[in-house]
Chain A
Amino acid sequence: MTDAAITLQGADTREAVSQDPGWFQRNRSAIIRHAVINLFNLIIILPLVWVGMMSIKSRPDSMRGDFWPRKFDFTHYAYVFEKIDTLPINLFNSIYVTFGTVAITSVCAVLAGYALVHLRPRGGAFIIATLLVSLYFPVRVVSIISIYEIQDNLGLINSTSGLILPYVTLQLAISVLIMRSMFQLVPHEMFEAATIDGAGPWKSLWMVGVPMVRNGLVVIFIVNFVTAWGEFLLCSTLTNDQVARTMPVVLAGAQGGLGQWSWPALAAVYVLVVTPGLVAFTFAQKLFFKGLAEGVTKG
C-alpha cells in the first residue's frame, strides 16, 4: 500500500507538467498518503469510541453488538458509583498510588540527573551503566519473587501504600537517564555562576536547574503516571483484597455480564479511569513533544 504511494509520488511530479490533469490527479500522492495515515488513525480511535458508546447504551443494546444503540441510557455513570461499593476506594487507591509514585520518582530523577552531570561523582559512569543494563534485563518479571518476600518482611502485603515502593523503580532508570540527558544541555557555567552568587548546590539546582529541565520533567510525569496508573503484575501479586487494589486491576478481573458488572457499567468505569490520562496528555502534549525531542532521542 505504502510502496505504491511512494512510487506514485515519483511518477506524479514528472507527468504533472506535460498534461493538465484534474485536481485529483495532481494531488493523488498526497490524497493516498493522507488516506493511509487516517486509516491508521481510525484503527487507533475506533476501539476507544466503541467503549465510549458502550457506556451510554441501554442494557439490551449492549448485548446486541451493534455500534449504534437503539436506545441510549446515560445512567450507568451514576449507577456504578451507587452499586459498586469498592469503586470510590479503588479510584482513590489509583490516584494515591500514582501521585505518590510520580512525585517520588521525579524527585529522585532530578536529583540524580543533576548530580551525575554537574557534580561528577566517583563511580557515576558505573551507576549509569547499571541503569542502562537494567533496561535490557527482564527485572520486573524475575524480581517479583524477591519483591514479594521484601514486602512480606516489611508487613506490606495487601497494603496499598506499600505498592508505591516497587512502583517507583519501574521507570526509575529511564527517568534518571532522561534527566541526565536534559541536564547535559544545561551549561555548567550557569551553576558555577549561581555558586559564585552564594547559592549552594541545592539552591542552584532549584533556582537554575529545574526551570531548565521542565520539558523533560513533563515526559517523566507522563511516563510514570501511565506506568503506575496501569500497573497490573505487582498490584495483583502483592494485594489480595479488592479494597486494596487499584481501579484498573479490579476492572481487569471483572467479567462482563449481568448485575453490577453489566457491560455498560464496565464501560462507564473504563471511561472514568482512562479519561484523566488522556486529558492530561492533551494539555501537556506540546511540552511533552518538546521534552521528547530534547531528552529521549538523544539518550
Chain B
Amino acid sequence: MAQATAAQRIWIFRQGINTWLFLVPTLAFFVGYQVYPIFRVLWISFTDFQYLSNEPANWIWFDNYVEAFNDPLMWKSLWRATYFTLMFLPGTIILPLLLAILVDRVSNQKLATLYRVILLIPAVIPSTLIFVLWKWMYNYQVGPINHFLVETLGLFTLYNAPQWLGGTPLTLPAVAIMEVWWGLGYHTIFFLAGLAAIPKELPEAARIDGATEWQVFWHVTRPRLAPIMMILIVLRFGTAMAVIDEYLIFGGFNRDSPTYTWTIFMYDQAFKLGLWRQGFAAAIGMIGAIAMMIVMVILIRIFRPRG
C-alpha cells in the first residue's frame, strides 16, 4: 500500500467523525447512565461514603465487604432471592414450552393469531400496572383470589383466609405466581418462534419411523429449542435474582420479611437508614451482582447447546 495522500487522510478522518456522530447519542446515554454508574458504585463500595454526611469519603479497602460477609442478613437476603428464583424459574420455562407446543399445532391461521395476541397481552402491560393488578388480586378484603377460596370453594373462612402479601411466608410464592403469569405469553411467543424454525419434515419423519410424541419432543424438538431455552433461563435467572420493584411494593422494609432480599437490603441501606450508608450499600449490591454473574456463567456452561 502506498502512503495515503493528505486529501485521502482528511477524507478518512471525516468518515470517522461522521461514523462516530451516529454513535454519540447512544454512547452518551449508555456511558453516562450505565457504565459510569457501575464503576462509580464499585468505587463507592471501597469507601465509607455516607450520602447525607458532610464528611468526605475515606478509602477503606474491603471493610464494607468484610462487614457484609459477617452480617447474617447478607447471606439470608441472598438465600431469599435464590429461593424466589428456584420457585419462579421452572414455571416460567416449562409452562410456556408446553403452551407453545400446543399453539404451534393450531392449524387455523385466524385462531393461531388470536391466541398469540391474547397471550401477549400481559407482556404489553407496563410492569407497575402488573404489580398493582396483582396487589388487588391478592387483596385480603376484596381480592378475587381470596373471594374464590372463601366464598366459592369454602376452603377458608374470613378469619383464616391466606394473607398473601405484606411480607408473610406466602409473599414470595405469590410474587412467583404473578411473575409466571406475566411472562407466560411472552415466553410462549419466544418458543413459538423457535418451533417455527424447525423444518416440518423432521418430526414427521420421526413419527413415520414409529417414534412416540414424547420421543419426537425429546430427540427432535428439544435439541433445536436448546439455544432459546438457554437464553431464557439465563436472562430470567438474572431478572429473578435482581427483583426489586415487586418487593418494594409488596413487602416493605421489614428485615424479617422474605421479600427483604439483597436488593432491598441494598436499597434500605442506601436510601432509608441513618445517613444513607451508600458505601456499605454499594458493597451489598456488588456482592449480589457478582454472585449472580458467577451462577450465570455456570448456567451458560450447563445449558450450552452441544454439537
A binding-site residues for B, Cβ under 8 Å: 2-3, 5-7, 9-10, 33-34, 36-37, 40-41, 43-48, 50-51, 54, 62-63, 65-67, 104, 107-109, 111-112, 114-116, 119-122, 127, 130-131, 134-150, 165-166, 168-169, 172-173, 176, 201, 222, 226-227, 229-233, 236-237, 248-249, 251-252, 256, 263, 266-267, 270, 273-274, 277-278, 281-282, 285, 289, 292-293, 296-297
Contact = CB atoms under 8 A, between A and B. Distances in A.
Residue among B23, B278, B281 with max Cβ neighbours from chain A (10 Å): B23
B102 A36 contact: yes
Contact of A232 (B102, B128, B213, B263): B128
B26 A176 contact: yes
A232 to B, nearest CB: 4
B133 A141 contact: no
B296 A136 contact: yes
A112 B23 contact: yes
14 contacts: A7-B214, A34-B106, A47-B134, A47-B144, A50-B136, A51-B133, A119-B18, A138-B289, A169-B34, A227-B127, A249-B128, A251-B132, A274-B126, A285-B120
B131 interface: yes
Interface stretch (B69-77, B167-175, B243-251): B243-251
Residue among A63, A233, A282 with max Cβ neighbours from chain B (10 Å): A233
Contact of B29 (A37, A41, A168, A226): A168
Interface residues of B, number: 98
Interface string B271-298: 1000000100110011011001100100
Nearest to B24: A111
A229 B99 CA distance: 29
A150 B37 contact: yes
Nearest to B139: A256
B235 A147 contact: no
Interface stretch (B38-46, B58-66, B83-91): B38-46
A274 to B, nearest CB: 5
Q: What DSSP secondary structure best describes chain B's contact surface?
A: helix
Nearest to A147: B37
A252 to B, nearest CB: 5
B235 to A, nearest CB: 7
Interface string B141-156: 1111001000100000
A119 B19 contact: yes
B38 A50 contact: no
Given A108-B26, A278-B124, 13 more contacts: A2-B102, A33-B105, A50-B136, A138-B238, A139-B38, A142-B266, A145-B266, A148-B271, A230-B128, A230-B129, A248-B132, A270-B133, A278-B125
A131 B304 CA distance: 21
A297 to B, nearest CB: 4
A135 B235 CA distance: 8
Contacts of A176: 26
Contact of A282 (B27, B98, B117): B117
A231 B132 contact: no
A137 B19 CA distance: 28
B129 A141 contact: no
Contacts of A146: 36-38, 40-41, 44
The 8 A-B pairs at the shortest CB distance, nearest first, are namely A230-B126, A115-B22, A143-B37, A146-B37, A138-B242, A248-B128, A112-B26, A65-B147
Contacts of A267: 136
B189 interface: yes
Contact of A6 (B132, B134, B193, B213): B213
Nearest to B270: A145
A112 to B, nearest CB: 4
A127 to B, nearest CB: 7
B116 interface: yes
Contact of A10 (B116, B121, B213): B213
Given A6-B214, A134-B34, A236-B248, A169 B29 contact: yes
A107 B25 contact: yes
Contacts of A140: 242
Contact of B142 (A147, A251, A256): A256
Interface string B200-240: 00000000000011100100000000000000001100100
B171 to A, nearest CB: 16
Nearest to B39: A146
B13 interface: no
A127 B27 contact: yes
B68 interface: no
Contacts of B34: 134, 139, 143, 169, 172-173
Given A115-B19, A230-B128, A37 B121 contact: no
Nearest to B151: A65
A35 B282 CA distance: 50
Contact of A297 (B117, B121, B193): B193
A122 B20 CA distance: 10
A3 B218 CA distance: 12
Contacts of B253: none
A287 to B, nearest CB: 13
A160 to B, nearest CB: 16
Given A10-B213, A146-B37, A229-B126, A252 B132 contact: yes
A256 B263 CA distance: 27
A296 B120 CA distance: 15
